[in-house]
Amino acid sequence: MSRIGNAPIDIPEGVEASVSNGTISVKGPKGELTQDVDVSAVAINIADNVISVSRNSEEKDHKAKHGLYRSLIANMVEGVSKGYKTQQELVGVGYRASNQGQKLELLLGYSHGIVFELPPEIKITCESERGKNPIITLESHDKQLIGHVAAKIRSLRKPEPYKGKGIKFVGEQLRRKAGKSAAK
C-alpha cells in the first residue's frame, strides 16, 4: 500500500488541471506546468476539485511510479498556486553576488568573476548588507527547475568543512572539522 500515492490532491481556487494522452497539465496564477505520465502504470482521475492517482497493477515498477507521479503532481499544483523559494548565502571574505536581469554575477575568490545565465522561469534577487553575508533568493513555480539551478550555483563553490567558506543554503547545518593542532 502506498500511503503517498493514495493521498488525494486538493485543487485550490484559481488552479485548473487537465489530463490528455498521458500528459497532465496544471495552470494557475504563477504559471503553467506539464508532466508526461506512464499510463500503463498509473491512472489519473480529476473530479470535484480533487486529483486522485491509482495504479493499474501490483507490479513493483507500478508501485514505485504510483507514489512518484502523485508527488510530482502535488508539487505542480503547489507550484502554480503558491510558488517555491530558496535562499543561498555566500560565506567568505570578498564573496559578492549581483544580478542584471537574468544574469547572476558571482565573485567567489577565483581570479575571475562568474556569470551565470538563469532560465526565464526563475526570478532572482540579491541582497548585500554591510557586515552580513550576501544572500541570493530564487523564486519559481517549478520545483525541479529551482532545485537544479540552486544546486548548480552551489556547485560553483561548495562549503568547505574547516572554515565553512562557500555557497550554502540559508539554515543549512555544515559538518565542521577541527583543524590541525600545534605539536607541543
Q: What is the pLDDT of residues 80-127, one digit of tens each?
A: 999 999 999 999 999 999 999 999 999 999 999 999 999 999 999 999
Proportion of the chain above pLDDT 90, given as a percent: 73
What is the mean pLDDT of the segment spanning 58-77?
91
Confidence check: pLDDT of 146 > 70: yes
Helices 143-155 and 60-81, packing angle to 10 deg: 90
Confidence check: pLDDT of 181 > 90: no
Last residue of a domain, one of 50, 81, 112: 81
Same domain, 100 and 164: yes
Domain CATH number, residue 93: 3.90.930.12
DSSP per-residue letters across 105-160: EEE-SSSS-EEEEPPTT-EEEEE--TTS--EEEEEES-HHHHHHHHHHHHHTSPPP
Instruction: Give the residue numbers spanning the domain of 61.
Output: 3-81
Strand order in the sheet with 114-117: 96-100, 103-107, 114-117
- The answer to whether 35 and 41 are in contact (CB under 8 A) is no
- Domain count across the chain: 2
pLDDT band at 3 (very low <50, low <70, confident <90, very high): confident
Last residue of a domain, one of 31, 66, 81: 81
pLDDT of residue 1: 53
pLDDT band at 179 (very low <50, low <70, confident <90, very high): confident
pLDDT of residue 133: 92
Same domain, 73 and 144: no
Judged by DSSP in three states, 2 sits in coil
CA 77 to chain centre: 14
pLDDT of residue 183: 62
Question: What are the cell numbers at 17?
Answer: 488541471
Largest CA distance in the chain: 75
Query: Across the chain, what does the average pLDDT equal?
Result: 91
